[in-house]
Structure 1
Amino acid sequence: MPQIEWLDQYSVGVESIDNQHKELFERVNRLLNACAQGEGKRVLPEVLDFLGDYVVFHFSTEEKYMKEYLYPDYLAHKKEHDSFVETYKKFREEVEKEEAGVAAVIKTNRLIVDWLKNHILGTDRKLGTFLKEKMQLK
């Protein structure tokens, strides 16, 4: 399975947020590598555990910045975060019921990779532009 490569276009310009995004990419790539080696089912629970914890940590970092700098789109951005957390929880329950089969691995890749790329390129880049300007003024 192809890796998801960190590209400059994913940078939001806020180092702590970019570093967290890079860590998410690295973990997803670990799953993709495991899938390519036929080990996806073994690694999936570990990756899902990490994502469950790390996404909450990452979202709280972004939300802290949004509150601190009075980001005007805070509610809409937070709603996207909350929606992803709910989607993740439902998906995690499905995986645990079905066991970590190949279909679950593929679905995980699609869910996480697509959401991550779209969220970063849209919502997070807008936040980054706002934060860079506010942080320079401070």
Structure 2
Amino acid sequence: MAINWDDSLLTGVDDIDDQHRELFRRFNNLLAACNQGQGREEVLRTLTFLDDYIRSHFHEEELMQQRSNFPDYPAHRAQHDNFIATTEALADQFRSEGASLGLLVKTNTTLMEWLVGHIRKMDRAFARHLNAGRTAG
């Protein structure tokens, strides 16, 4: 049930690509912890770290967008805000229900679809904007 990284997810912006790889690694650690029946505390610790990392990554990405006058910044930020709300809801569900098979499938599907889709569409569009500005300047 792992979320696999491949080169179709590269944006061409090293800092962003490195952070995306780390997000994939952390999501997979979370899924593995749930799958292996690791203790509730370990899963909660991973969820907390993941939430912090997502917020930090989104903040850095949004600062880059603002500095480069990215025209789609408001829509991009709205997607980030929606994803944070989604991950918070999944974490709340885990806290109340535990790591059920249904929750694992829902988490994997949600994270994979959103993250892969967001990177391929929104983040790559931002990278094109950023790289165009670098070559024009």
TM-score range, shorter chain: 0.7 to 0.9
Query: How far does the alpha carbon of each residue in 1:7-44 deviate from its partner, in whole angstroms, 9 at most, with x for none?
Result: 111011111000000001111222344455x3366553
Does 1:4 find its partner at 2:12? no
Q: Which position in structure 2 is the counterpart of 1:83?
A: 82
Q: Which position in structure 1 is the counterpart of 2:100?
A: 101
Between the aligned partners of 1:90 and 1:111, the Cα distance in structure 2 is 11
Does structure 2 conserve the Cα–Cα contact (< 8 Å) formed by 1:6 and 1:22? yes
Deviation (angstroms), 1:46: 3.2
RMSD: 1.9
Deviation (angstroms), 1:102: 2.8
Q: Which position in structure 1 is the counterpart of 2:73?
A: 74
Structure 1: segments with no counterpart, 5+ residues: none
Does 1:49 find its partner at 2:48? yes
Does structure 1 conserve the Cα–Cα contact (< 8 Å) formed by 2:94 and 2:103? yes
Task: Percent identity, please.
Answer: 37
Between the aligned partners of 2:3 and 2:17, the Cα distance in structure 1 is 15
Q: Which position in structure 2 is the counterpart of 1:27?
A: 26
Between the aligned partners of 2:132 and 2:86, the Cα distance in structure 1 is 32
Structure 2: segments with no counterpart, 5+ residues: none
Between the aligned partners of 1:89 and 1:15, the Cα distance in structure 2 is 28
Deviation (angstroms), 1:103: 2.5
Deviation (angstroms), 1:86: 1.4
Deviation (angstroms), 1:135: 2.5
TM-score by length of 2: 0.87
TM-score by length of 1: 0.86
Q: 1:23 to 1:50 in 2, by over 3 A?
A: same
Between the aligned partners of 2:82 and 2:119, the Cα distance in structure 1 is 15
Does 1:115 find its partner at 2:114? yes
